[in-house]
Amino acid sequence: EIVLTQSPATLSLSPGERATLSCRASQSVSSYLAWFQQIPGQPPRLLIYDASKRATGVPARFSGSGSGTDFSLTISSLEPEDFAFYYCQQRSIWPLTFGGGSKVEIK
């Protein structure tokens, strides 16, 4: 099973600041990695797929990068609605796995 390790667990920032989240895989997943946003009380929302492609309707302030084992999600300038949980997920090798999540909170 591929283990995805996300860091930091919690990121405390102010609106307008830049957020960078990390996801590290225990073995290569090529570019088969996605990022999801989850606001408490809501289902997850697909933000990024294939490591760097934005899903339909996702604002340009969200960007993804990386391949192999190291990936990152960057929010260029935090909006109030961006304070949420973020999860990475790989579809390279069975079973599909998610990272443990990172919380972006208001400082």
Partner 1 sequence: KLVESGGRVVRPGGSLRLSCVASGFIFDDYGMSWVRQAPGKGLEWVSGLNGQGGSKYYGDSVKGRFTISRDNAKNSLYLEMNSLRAEDTALYYCVRGFSVSYMDVWGKGTTVTVSS
Residues that bind partner 1 (CB under 8 A): 1, 34, 36, 38, 43-46, 49-50, 55, 87, 89, 91, 94-101
Residue 43's Cβ-side half-sphere holds a number of Cα atoms within 13 Å equal to 2
Q: How many residues does the chain have?
A: 107
CB of 42 to partner 1, least distance (A): 8
CB of 76 to partner 1, least distance (A): 23
CB of 14 to partner 1, least distance (A): 25
CB of 77 to partner 1, least distance (A): 25
User: Is 4 or 19 the residue whose CB approaches partner 1 more closely?
Assistant: 4
User: Is 68 or 101 the residue whose CB approaches partner 1 more closely?
Assistant: 101
User: Is 76 or 98 the residue whose CB approaches partner 1 more closely?
Assistant: 98
- DSSP string computed for 30-98: TT-EEEEEE-TTS--EEEEETTTEEPTT--TTEEEEEETTEEEEEESS--GGG-SEEEEEE-SSSSPEE
User: Is 50 or 79 the residue whose CB approaches partner 1 more closely?
Assistant: 50
